[in-house]
Amino acid sequence: MMASAGHSDRRRPSRRQLLLGGAAAGAGAAVTLGAERAGALPGSTPAPTADSAGLNGERTVPFHGPHQAGVTARPGAHATYLAFDLLPDTDRERLRAWLSLLTDDAARVTQGRGALADLEPELAVRPAGLTVTFGLGREAVLRAGAEPPDWLGPLPAFTIDRLEDRWSGGDAMVLLHGDDPTAISHLARMLARDSRSFATVRWRQDGFRRAYGSDPSGTTMRNLFGQVDGSSNLGPEDDAFGATVWAGTEAPGWLRGGTSLVLRRIAMNLEGWDEVGVEGREAAVGRRIADGAPLTGGTERDPLDLEAKGPGGFTVINPAAHAARARVEDPAQGIVRLGYSYDVPVEPGALDARGRPAVSNVGLLFGSWQRDVARQYVPMQRRLAEADLLNTWTTPIGSAVFAIPPGCEQGGFIGETLFA
Amino acid sequence: MMASAGHSDRRRPSRRQLLLGGAAAGAGAAVTLGAERAGALPGSTPAPTADSAGLNGERTVPFHGPHQAGVTARPGAHATYLAFDLLPDTDRERLRAWLSLLTDDAARVTQGRGALADLEPELAVRPAGLTVTFGLGREAVLRAGAEPPDWLGPLPAFTIDRLEDRWSGGDAMVLLHGDDPTAISHLARMLARDSRSFATVRWRQDGFRRAYGSDPSGTTMRNLFGQVDGSSNLGPEDDAFGATVWAGTEAPGWLRGGTSLVLRRIAMNLEGWDEVGVEGREAAVGRRIADGAPLTGGTERDPLDLEAKGPGGFTVINPAAHAARARVEDPAQGIVRLGYSYDVPVEPGALDARGRPAVSNVGLLFGSWQRDVARQYVPMQRRLAEADLLNTWTTPIGSAVFAIPPGCEQGGFIGETLFA
């Protein structure tokens, strides 16, 4: 691998130089910022200045380590998923070169330095928690001459699916998440540019959560239905996280310490949802809208009581409620969710379910980490497809599965275990 | 107008009730947030907690006042522009009803309360500086039976333009800007929903700047070329701001205290820009890339010296440099810029200027406020169209002009001066 420390040098090394490590470049430009100006206006609530808390823009998540950083980092406010199709001549050696090049871009830019041959290193100086996670589809693993796990490929068909090719599949994937949209835009472009000789972009999906500074830290996100979404999710600080997420001895050797990502694009019918009152919404989910607590009481993190009966003799939580259907007894048999809302302009002429001009095109980028897609994701998704009251207002329109290799140390690259 | 203070009530009043003020609703739901969780991970730079600085999410910009708040507020990290075409039967009275309804939505949601008949008021509780600015095209002013200013209509054609209908025109417009994408998404949907009986959405354009917390407050934004963009921009705290922006006695009476918005969608050819070194970039702009200072020295806010000569006898700043062509002697003859970057997925099969698969679809939503489009915006744009070195890499692909009525007080509505 090339040296990763470098001085500012805007000459553009050739790809050959880059791949062979012959370039002395690396644009870690020190950028002098302009003078500050007063921003508060008369009559406005004073803006809490980011300065007083330390700048979130300067926050970095280490790139190197045993696991890829994007799996364990706090999800940033913005996410961009880019999927690629490999070019026909991207063979084992070219695949290795591509993964090396993108790893180098990611290792630099997530730490606030420009990519090699980055002509806008100014856009990289404040990464705001930017992370990159690389994923591989079945085709990429086969081209590397390695053994794909059984589950690596399209999910089994579910009756609720209305999948569109433009949001599905892919030979490889990168997920960028962080708190700053400019930093993400810049790195996504660097990665797409440096992929040109190896792969074409198959699709891109962008999502958002509440901005940095909007909610107290640790608040569970709300999706665009207004639901608290992900209350029972495990975090890296939880004991069961590792057993749920990290591939172990059951996986091909190259994947150990890695995981898998399922990404589902789920369209949400907000016009229909608006016709349902709060009681109906809470019944569909099994949780209170106001605070995400189970309908059987307590607070957001308390377990559901699926046995508790109401005055009419029925269970308080409908057995077909989303939270009831998604639940697993053993957390390690579950998944770790990574949810982002999407909201993209309505296509011209699009109609809603009633034939009126559509007003919104919104949904959820439902990502999930699990060590084994077949044993963890698929059984849960089967239960949801069979019966989940929420299905009335949600439709999966995209689906993709990727193996997430383990992390790498300085001097290595993500995916190196495929070539060992 | 309806009372704007209200208790939480999820029953959905009819549109007739809304318009006649008969609804007691108003969903200012108190939302109990879930317990906090530790978010920091071992090895990460500690995340500065938003909590310690006060929550930016709770920041509100007052809606009522002599001017519309979005013109004077610090630009939020995210902007959504929605343009509308009026339905044929939206006559004077219906136009008034529509503007009343949208004003009520905006007055509530920007202050952290749900809109009337808002079924996701939970998404409104932390507006993060959300503002709404209403604009009117020529057709809307005519339907109100009022006098449009001469400049209200399409701009004169410029030779550099490659305008697309899907990003141009509109009978009316709302601009939402604020620091939180979820808050913007929610309000944009409320406004589009409440417009259904009056207008159709013509286009939507979304843009971003650096996130709240990324840069020290007062830092000038960088566009996706990496340029410091807007160094000489006036802010409301500057003496010349009012004379530049607020329409006075030369304008039709209904517009006094208002302004105008020109929105241009400017595609940026980043692949071409990447082939230009730093010197070429700085020559094209007339400013240093690193800090935005004029090439004739000083700091970002210092004036350009267009007379200073270099060793070769030529002026240091090329007379065709962007900053030189855009400059005005009298700030009050200039404009106040509101810039947002855009970055949207490349359309399938799109090619770049060299015929290769395109990797990016990026540009700038160039907004400008001025009291008179014909006297301020058009002469500047003519100078830029005639000669601006930046034109090599930029192409205007959308264009729209709106009159921005003055603000209103509690009980009034934006646009009420049209009906006086």
Q: Both tokens of residue B158?
A: 């410029």
Q: Which of A149, A285, A211, A114 shows the shortest CA–CA distance to B290?
A: A114
Determine phi and psi for A322, rounding to 5 degrees: -55, -50
Tell me: the pLDDT tens digits for B44-61?
Answer: 444 444 443 458 999 999
E strand or H helix that includes residue B173: strand B172-178
Find out whether B133 and B102 touch, Cβ atoms under 8 Å. Answer: no
Find out whether A245 and A370 touch, Cβ atoms under 8 Å. Answer: yes
Residue of B nearest to A234 (CA): B37
The DSSP-derived string for B325-381 is HH--SSGGGS-EEEEEEEE-PPPTT-B-TTSSBP---EEEEEEEEES-IIIIIHHHH
User: Smallest CA–CA separation between B408 and chain A, in Å?
Assistant: 15
Tell me: the pLDDT tens digits for A184-219?
Answer: 999 999 999 999 999 999 999 999 999 999 998 889
Test A214 with B39 for CB contact under 8 angstroms.
no
- Within 10 Å of residue A272's Cβ, how many Cβ atoms? 14
Kindly state whether residue A37 falls inside one of the protein's structural domains.
no
Helices (H) and strands (E) in chain B, counts: 10, 8
Kindly state whether residue A47 falls inside one of the protein's structural domains.
no
Determine phi and psi for A196, rounding to 5 degrees: -55, -35
Residue A228 touches chain B, beta carbons under 8 Å: yes
Tell me: the pLDDT tens digits for B212-247?
Answer: 999 988 899 999 999 998 888 999 999 999 999 999
Residues B186, B77: Cα–Cα separation, whole Å: 16
Residue of B nearest to A28 (CA): B290
Q: Both tokens of residue B116?
A: 């009337």
Residues A375, A243: Cα–Cα separation, whole Å: 13
Give the model's pLDDT for residue B51.
43
Residues B125, B31: Cα–Cα separation, whole Å: 8
Kindly state whether residue B254 falls inside one of the protein's structural domains.
yes
Find out whether B6 and B30 touch, Cβ atoms under 8 Å. Answer: no
Split into its structural domains, chain A has a count of 1
Tell me: the pLDDT tens digits for B354-365?
Answer: 788 888 899 999
Q: Which of B133, B178, B287 shows the shortest CA–CA distance to B222?
A: B287
User: Smallest CA–CA separation between B69 and chain A, in Å?
Assistant: 10
Residue A111 touches chain B, beta carbons under 8 Å: no
Residue A65 touches chain B, beta carbons under 8 Å: yes
Radius of gyration of chain A measured on its C-alpha atoms: 23
What residues make up the domain containing B335?
Answer: 58-419
Residue A256 touches chain B, beta carbons under 8 Å: no
Find out whether B248 and B92 touch, Cβ atoms under 8 Å. Answer: no
Test A73 with B356 for CB contact under 8 angstroms.
no
Residue of B nearest to A222 (CA): B123
Give the model's pLDDT for residue B10.
35
Radius of gyration of chain B measured on its C-alpha atoms: 23
Give the model's pLDDT for residue A250.
93
Highest mean pLDDT among A52-66, A204-218, B1-15: A204-218
Determine phi and psi for A202, rounding to 5 degrees: -90, -45
Test A211 with B235 for CB contact under 8 angstroms.
no
Residues B265, B396: Cα–Cα separation, whole Å: 6
Residue B395 touches chain A, beta carbons under 8 Å: no
Kindly state whether residue A245 falls inside one of the protein's structural domains.
yes
Q: How far is CA A378 from the centre of its chain?
A: 19
Query: In a 3-state reduction of DSSP, which class is residue A382?
Result: helix
Burial (Cβ within 10 Å: 0-12, 13-18, ≥19) of residue A199: buried
pLDDT at A47 over 90: no
Residues B379, B383: Cα–Cα separation, whole Å: 6
E strand or H helix that includes residue B18: helix B15-20
Kindly state whether residue A75 falls inside one of the protein's structural domains.
yes
pLDDT at A35 over 60: no
> pLDDT averaged over chain B?
87
Lowest mean pLDDT segment, chosen from A21-35, A130-144, B73-87: A21-35
Residues in Cβ contact with A386 at an 8 Å cutoff, skipping those fewer than 6 apart: none
Q: Which residues in chain B have Cβ-Cβ distances shorter than 8 Å to A58?
A: 45
Q: Which residues in chain A have Cβ-Cβ distances shorter than 8 Å to B169?
A: none
Q: Both tokens of residue A57?
A: 């823009």
* Mean predicted confidence (pLDDT) in B11-33: 33
Give the model's pLDDT for residue B54.
56
Q: Is B9 a catalytic residue?
A: no
E strand or H helix that includes residue B208: strand B199-208
Residues B122, A219: Cα–Cα separation, whole Å: 13
ipTM, 2 dp: 0.87
> pLDDT averaged over chain A?
87
The DSSP-derived string for B282-301 is HHHHTB-TTT--BTTSS-TT
User: Smallest CA–CA separation between A265 and chain B, in Å?
Assistant: 16
Kindly state whether residue B26 falls inside one of the protein's structural domains.
no
Q: Which residues in chain B have Cβ-Cβ distances shorter than 8 Å to A55?
A: 48, 213-216
Find out whether A119 and B274 touch, Cβ atoms under 8 Å. Answer: yes
- Name which of B60, B62, B212 is nearest A212 (Cβ-Cβ): B212
Give the model's pLDDT for residue B266.
97
**Per the residue annotation, which of B206, B229, B372, B388 is the catalytic one?**
B229
User: Smallest CA–CA separation between B238 and chain A, in Å?
Assistant: 11
* Mean predicted confidence (pLDDT) in B103-132: 92
Tell me: the pLDDT tens digits for A263-298?
Answer: 999 999 998 998 898 999 999 999 999 999 999 999
Write down the residue that tokens 């006094």 correspond to: B256
Residues in Cβ contact with A86 at an 8 Å cutoff, skipping those fewer than 6 apart: A95, A139, A140, A143, A171, A172, A198, A199
The DSSP-derived string for A155-180 is PPP-TT----GGGS--SEEEEEEES-
Residues A309, A316: Cα–Cα separation, whole Å: 5
Could you tell me what percent of chain A has a pLDDT over 90?
74
Contacts A–B by Cβ distance under 8 A: 347
pLDDT at B407 over 90: yes
Give the model's pLDDT for residue B262.
98
Test B278 with A78 for CB contact under 8 angstroms.
no
Residue A39 touches chain B, beta carbons under 8 Å: yes
Give the model's pLDDT for residue A54.
56
Give the model's pLDDT for residue A217.
82
Tell me: the pLDDT tens digits for B320-345?
Answer: 999 998 888 887 889 999 999 999 99
Give the model's pLDDT for residue A327.
86
More confident residue, A359 or B172: B172
Give the model's pLDDT for residue B114.
87
Tell me: the pLDDT tens digits for A398-417?
Answer: 999 999 999 999 999 999 99
Residues B216, A322: Cα–Cα separation, whole Å: 43
| End-to-end alpha carbon distance in chain A | 15
Q: Which residues in chain A have Cβ-Cβ distances shorter than 8 Å to B359?
A: 189, 192-193, 195-196, 201
Burial (Cβ within 10 Å: 0-12, 13-18, ≥19) of residue A340: buried
* Mean predicted confidence (pLDDT) in A236-246: 94
* Mean predicted confidence (pLDDT) in B197-205: 96
Give the model's pLDDT for residue A364.
97
Lowest mean pLDDT segment, chosen from A43-57, A100-114, B155-169, B183-197: A43-57
* Mean predicted confidence (pLDDT) in A35-62: 55
Determine phi and psi for A388, rounding to 5 degrees: -160, 115
Tell me: the pLDDT tens digits for A84-133?
Answer: 999 999 999 999 999 999 999 999 999 999 888 887 889 999 999 999 99
Kindly state whether residue A107 falls inside one of the protein's structural domains.
yes
Kindly state whether residue B29 falls inside one of the protein's structural domains.
no
Best of A167, A182, A191 to disrupt the B interface by mutation (most B CBs within 10 Å)? A182
Q: What type of residue is B11?
A: R
More confident residue, A420 or B103: B103
More confident residue, B275 or A151: A151
Give the model's pLDDT for residue A231.
86
Q: What sign results for the dihedral spanned by CA atoms B356, B360, B366, B367?
A: positive
